[in-house]
C-alpha cells in the first residue's frame, strides 16, 4: 500500500526513519563492543613447569579474532615504540615483544598466565623467574594521540629496564 505524500505522512515517515536509524546505530555499537570486549573462552590455569629463567621484560599485546580500529592502533603503536626505542634490548633478549591472539587454542597457557580476556597490553618484569605483571589500561585513553601513547608505553617498559625515559 502506497502512502500519499502529505505533511502528516511525511512527518510520520521521518519519525520512523529516525527510530530505525537509532536502532541500527545501537546495534552497530553493541556489535563493536562485543567484538572488542567480550571475554575469551575460559581456559584452565597452566602449570608452570619451567625452570628459573633469565631476568627480562616481556611486552605482550593480546587481541581477539575480530579487531576494531582502536585495537589495531594499540598494537601498531606499541610495536612502533618497542622497535624504535628498544632495539638493543630486543636484540639482546632483555626485552621480548609478543602479539597473542586470545582466540587461538595454542595460546591457552600464555592467556592463562596473564589472565587476559580481551584486547590488552601487559608488561611483565621477570626477576629470578618470578613474574611481576602489570596491565597497561591507560593506553585505551590515548588512542590516536601518538606522542602520548608512545611516551606512556616507553615509560612503562623503560621503568623495568632501568631507563629514565
Q: Does residue 78 fall inside a structural domain?
A: yes
Q: Does residue 87 fall inside a structural domain?
A: yes
CATH number at residue 112: 3.40.30.10
pLDDT in tens, the chain (165 residues): 555 555 556 566 656 767 766 655 565 555 555 555 544 444 444 444 444 456 889 999 999 888 899 999 999 999 999 999 999 999 999 999 999 999 889 988 989 899 988 899 999 988 888 889 999 999 999 999 999 999 999 999 999 888 765
- Residues whose CB falls within 8 Å of the CB of residue 106, separated by 6 or more in sequence, listed in order: none
Q: How far is residue 77's CA from residue 90's CA, in Å, rounded to a whole number?
A: 16
Give the bridge partners for 99, in sequence order.
61
The residue among 109, 30, 37 whose CA lies nearest residue 71 is 37
- Claim: this prediction has a pTM higher than 0.95: no
Q: How many CB atoms lie within 10 A of CB 58?
A: 20
Domain of residue 62 covers 56-160
Chain mean position to CA 28? 20
Q: Which residue has the cell 587461538?
A: 104
Amino acid at each position: 500500500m502506497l502512502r500519499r505524500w502529505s505533511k502528516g505522512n511525511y512527518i510520520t515517515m521521518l519519525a520512523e526513519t529516525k527510530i530505525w536509524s537509532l536502532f541500527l546505530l545501537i546495534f552497530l555499537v553493541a556489535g563493536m563492543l562485543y567484538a572488542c570486549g567480550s571475554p575469551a573462552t575460559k581456559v584452565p590455569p597452566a602449570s608452570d613447569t619451567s625452570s628459573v629463567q633469565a631476568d627480562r621484560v616481556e611486552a605482550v599485546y593480546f587481541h581477539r579474532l575480530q579487531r576494531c580500529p582502536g585495537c589495531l592502533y594499540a598494537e601498531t603503536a606499541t610495536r612502533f615504540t618497542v622497535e624504535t626505542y628498544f632495539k638493543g634490548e630486543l636484540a639482546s633478549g632483555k626485552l621480548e615483544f609478543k602479539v597473542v591472539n586470545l582466540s587461538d587454542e595454542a595460546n591457552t597457557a600464555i592467556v592463562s598466565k596473564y589472565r587476559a580476556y580481551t584486547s590488552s597490553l601487559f608488561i611483565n618484569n621477570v626477576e629470578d623467574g618470578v613474574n611481576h605483571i602489570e596491565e597497561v589500561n591507560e593506553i585505551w585513553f590515548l588512542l590516536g594521540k601518538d606522542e602520548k601513547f608512545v611516551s606512556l608505553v616507553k615509560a612503562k617498559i623503560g621503568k623495568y629496564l632501568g631507563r629514565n625515559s
